[in-house]
Structure 1
Amino acid sequence: MTPMAAVLALLLALSGMVVISADKYPSPSPPPYHYKSPPPHPPKEHYPPPPKKHYYYKSPPPPSPPKHYYYKSPPPPSPPKNHYYYKSPPPPPPKKHYYYKSPPPPPPKVHYYYKSPPPPHKY
């Protein structure tokens, strides 16, 4: 026991009470947890019903006066056209530039060295 617990036990013993050490007798495990049932509902109080609301509906608007529609007059007929515009011919297509392959270079000149004729045979 700790010194503080010993002092408390001594004071209680002197006052005539029985002290049981917590070290000798451990406290029993707590009982298993049971869910509590919800508390009963309180009795409903009877209130007077709310007063009924009176709805005032807006009266429909008076009928609108008949509308006068002004139609646009058709445009005056156009004067006869005496100018005839012909479509210009399309521009000529651009000239294509053809690049021809240059002719192959001439073959290199070959120098042939002929064997000189044998000297005339002496008898």
Structure 2
Amino acid sequence: PPYVYKSPPPPAYTEKSAYVYKSPPPPSPSPPPPYVYKSPPPPAYTKKSLYVYKSPPPPPHHVRIPSYHIPYQYKSPPSSQYVYKSPPPPSHHAHIPSYHIPYLYKSPPPPPTRGY
């Protein structure tokens, strides 16, 4: 009994149930809901959400980009700055002696005038 009773029901019940229940529901309720429900939400939800949420993020993100560039460039020059800072000292020193040179140069002029 179980063997014969179980053999015919499955194919008939499954085929009929799936074929009838799966055929009409999808095509009918699928097109109307998405078309009407999706039409109005996008413009309002997208505009409001994107306008408010996307408006503030850009500024902070932009500020963070340059801020990140500043330290990045500042960290890159360390090597360059170290070399660039090395020469400046000599230049600065040269400027000091340069200032002393004219000072000494102005000092000598008086002696010749005195001797004269």
Which has the greater radius of gyration? 1
Q: Same fold (TM over 0.5)?
A: no
- Name the TM-score, length of structure 2 as normaliser: 0.23
> When you count helix as a share of all residues, which structure comes out higher?
2
More relative contact order in 1 or in 2 (CA 8 Å, sep 6+)? 1
